[in-house]
């Protein structure tokens, strides 16, 4: 954000996470809570891994599933599964006090690898291969990953809309 002329402060605070069937719905109560708590503009990122063969699981529960069973747990669920298609979704939520929330959503399609590969990134990066690549997110340099990832795409959408929102 700094390279685009915006200054952010990272406020690491737990907030009530409303669970719903989509990230777009999940993020709005968090935005509303944070604006009421801090009384200033807030931005929240909510992302998830959606695996087609697992009917979208872990989806909105991605963070919890990662903390409990991690990449190994997802790979275990995928043993013997031929359809390894998956997608990462990212919603960047933004809200000003007294205004409606705005959500920028982006998707990165890909597949689940057969094993963990790579040391970069975080979360499910070692098991997600984006479409058009033979490497996992964890093997791709951060600058390149930011151009193709769900989060990078969502930030680009958000930045395009931000002047209108302010």
Question: Which residues are catalytic, by number?
Answer: 46
Q: How far is CA 95 from CA 33, 67, 118, in A?
A: 10, 28, 36
d(CA 113, CA 119): 14
d(CA 55, CA 105): 20
Which is it for the CA torsion 127, 130, 132, 135, positive or negative?
A: negative
Q: Residue 118 corresponds to which tokens in the numbers above?
A: 């790579």
């Amino acid at each position: 954000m700094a390279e685009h002329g915006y200054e952010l402060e990272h406020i690491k605070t737990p907030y009530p996470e409303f669970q719903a069937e989509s990230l777009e719905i999940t993020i709005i109560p968090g935005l509303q809570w944070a604006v009421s708590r801090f009384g200033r503009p807030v931005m929240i990122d909510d992302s998830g891994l959606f695996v087609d063969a697992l009917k979208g699981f872990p989806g909105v529960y991605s963070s919890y599933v990662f903390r409990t069973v991690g990449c190994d747990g997802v790979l275990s669920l995928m043993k013997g599964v031929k359809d390894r298609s998956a997608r990462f979704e990212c919603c960047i939520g933004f809200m000003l006090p007294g205004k409606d929330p705005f959500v920028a959503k982006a998707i990165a399609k890909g597949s689940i690898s057969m094993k963990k590969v790579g040391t970069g990134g975080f979360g499910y990066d070692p098991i997600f291969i984006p479409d058009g690549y033979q490497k996992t997110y964890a093997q791709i340099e951060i600058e390149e990953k930011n151009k193709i990832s769900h989060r990078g795409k969502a930030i680009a959408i958000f930045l395009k809309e931000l002047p209108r929102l302010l």
